[in-house]
Structure 1
């Protein structure tokens, strides 16, 4: 679109030099469909992928059982979708190619499982993770990148499970999402890709943590009876604390205000205390991280996801039967009082409006020293 607009602007300048047109260049207005129309077309594309996949499974059953055919057909469908999406087609063709790509990805995954013959091994899920990660970077389509990042996160979670590293799953996903959101504007070219990938990761991270809270962990969905070690839970929460510290320290370094060392130390200690208090209420750290990240980047979607996840995590924790209502109420009361104390301390000693006014008065005195002396007299 930008290339076409630049060509039109050059043509307008050439016509102006020949005195054939007058006035400034006015770019043509593009009609954009409402969000509900786009949502309807997107859902239609996802359902169409199921019908396309069902066509291959029912009518070409003998060919689908051949891993080579599945690899060739699936790769061809993804390549065709890439070529069409690269040329910015209409909305109908855009979601039709999304359907072809999703069906091709399913065929590739099916071929990988046929080659490996063991559904519960690490290799097929790691291969799916590599494929989906590559598609999330290569595919020139926002929704496709979100879906690919979501599928890649699922594959990575299952890989961690089979490698007995489930305690690193939530922290790894959160750290990756934080890194992408905090650095998405370092490159304007890759900003939409980083944003889409971070949304895909977060869309899995929230229900993944919620499934552990309500008792349906990954072993349940994989039809396994193996139980994780009890210390996995505490290791997971400590790693989430590390991710939270990374977020807080990064935001302090990027802040326009200069924080003294004692203030930085107080903020870090408050973050550690908050995460330790919420250790029994699983998931609250993730909700706080998303909420802080949304406010720092002025991202309304992340703020909404953070608030929604916090409400779910707190309410689900209150109805768990592992502790009594008195104990859970005491923990939530301590967390609430601690957060209010942090707010009071920030408003009293780190008031942003007061810091801004003090800095503006100081800069005004530096620019007008004589007037400052007169005011003092």
Structure 2
């Protein structure tokens, strides 16, 4: 093909139709859907090949063959390197090489942890060094991103085992900022530093947040140690997070030529202080803001999107774990939104004040300055209206539920035993009620949803009295709405949510307390023990 191109170029040159050297052959454009199918086919082929190899070398995992495991893993990584080098630009072979390399890395890690104690930091540091070498050597963007991420995780766990809790996340934040503020001077090494920068962002979100299996990595923070490093680590981490914020703000001020004495310079400093303070209250928020700020400052859309997702996710998690009622939570959200809008309007007013003062045309003062927005088309108005409707619907629902909790009739239902292995699942408790077994046989087959009639004793405990068919209720009776879902009977919910770390409080739960409306709608409110004492409120 190359010879034919050269011959054609020579003939055209002889006819004086062209001049100069033959142009370089441009890379053929491959549509994204074709690349996606090629990558999918590459993974299928790689999985079949790895399954075949695993059936042959499966004995390596059943016996103490650390050297053999590591050797075969290195061979797999070498084969992946050759695929990357010889098949540059091929999506199919690129994905095959990635799968083969991941298999080799797993073998190397398995061999290291068979060879060295898993509670020792040394195998984690050795694995981190191995991943760093792969990041530098392998000429593949996704491979470098993953190996850089794996290296940071191994390094984090190694520091964790040394008692340096939280220091790995702080080091990650500093490295993240150093990589991205020096992107202009590292252009020659872009194929290496760019995936490394993204892997640092992923690790930063994982170490300081609750995305991408972040909770298992944070478990070590709760293990108190007598080591001096355990006491110094929070202060060291705080100092390094502050250092990363200072480095980033310094580069932004230098890049955009903003004097510190100017109004914008002072606002930037105030923003940096707020980021640092938010990090002391909640490290997840500061990390997300740091990534978001880097994405905006250096026009990196992927970082901006990751920062937004991390910020929304952590705020949602933090809001969910607040030990307060839905009404208070809704007021917190509303107050936060109003405060952010006021800050936005205040900054807009301050920044436009000088411009309005120097304008030749008359203006209406503060109102025009604050609300001088660009004209909105119908689509924007429709989006705003839809958001307002959604917010109104959500808050109306919350208000109705809070009103039901405040004014509804109290009914207790006895809890039924469940499988102890599934009783406590994270921060919620799986519930079943004894009444479900009592009227399971009487539920009409044609009726999927309906109401059950219960008799109330002096302690407001409900006992099954039959299916409600519209008859008047007696004095000590109540009707409860039930739903049929996949053959199971549900009363409002089968889960009780509580604050993280409070599972032991609810181990003695005997009754579920419901607030019931006149039409039978019910809402799980509290759990009580066998003495009818309140153990805690539901935290949905």
User: Structure 1 residues 205 and 11, CA, compared in 2 at 3 Å: closer, same or farther?
Assistant: farther
Q: Which residue of 2 aligns with 1:243?
A: 244
Q: Which residue of 2 aligns with 1:204?
A: 203
For residues 251 and 91 of structure 2, the distance between their equivalents in structure 1, rounded to whole angstroms, comes to 39
For residues 194 and 345 of structure 1, the distance between their equivalents in structure 2, rounded to whole angstroms, comes to 39
Superposed CA RMSD: 4.2
Conserved 8 A contact 1:290-1:305:
yes
Is 2:29 the counterpart of 1:32? yes
Is 2:79 the counterpart of 1:83? no
Is 2:106 the counterpart of 1:110? no
Aligned runs of 1:1-377 on 2, under 5 Å?
18-19=14-15, 21-22=17-18, 28-42=25-39, 45=42, 54-64=51-61, 65-87=64-86, 88=88, 90-116=90-116, 118-211=117-210, 216-218=215-217, 220=219, 226-227=223-224, 236=237, 239-260=240-261, 264-277=265-278, 279-321=280-322, 343=344, 346-348=347-349
User: Structure 1 residues 212 and 74, CA, compared in 2 at 3 Å: closer, same or farther?
Assistant: closer
Conserved 8 A contact 1:274-1:335:
no
Conserved 8 A contact 2:41-2:92:
no
The alpha carbon displacement at 1:93 in A equals 1.7
Deviates more, 1:225-234 or 1:282-291: 225-234
For residues 232 and 51 of structure 1, the distance between their equivalents in structure 2, rounded to whole angstroms, comes to 46
The alpha carbon displacement at 1:151 in A equals 0.9
Deviates more, 1:100-109 or 1:268-277: 268-277
Instruction: State the SS of the aligned residue for 2:166.
Output: helix
**Deviation by residue 1:72-109 (Cα, 9 ceiling, x = unmatched):** 22222212221231231522222212222111111221
User: Structure 1 residues 100 and 186, CA, compared in 2 at 3 Å: closer, same or farther?
Assistant: same
Q: Which residue of 2 aligns with 1:365?
A: none
TM-score in terms of structure 2 length: 0.54
For residues 101 and 109 of structure 2, the distance between their equivalents in structure 1, rounded to whole angstroms, comes to 12
**Deviation by residue 1:34-88 (Cα, 9 ceiling, x = unmatched):** 3344345445655666665554544323345422222322222212221231231
User: Structure 1 residues 322 and 212, CA, compared in 2 at 3 Å: closer, same or farther?
Assistant: farther
Larger radius of gyration: 2
For residues 308 and 172 of structure 1, the distance between their equivalents in structure 2, rounded to whole angstroms, comes to 22
The alpha carbon displacement at 1:11 in A equals 8.7
Gaps of 5+ in 1: 359-377
Q: Which residue of 1 aligns with 2:474?
A: none
The alpha carbon displacement at 1:23 in A equals 6.7
- The count of residues paired between Structure 1 and Structure 2 equals 348
Instruction: State the SS of the aligned residue for 1:211.
Output: coil
For residues 304 and 134 of structure 1, the distance between their equivalents in structure 2, rounded to whole angstroms, comes to 29
Choose between structure 1 and 2: higher strand proportion: 2
Deviates more, 1:287-296 or 1:187-196: 187-196
Gaps of 5+ in 2: 360-540
Conserved 8 A contact 1:85-1:141:
yes
The alpha carbon displacement at 1:284 in A equals 1.0
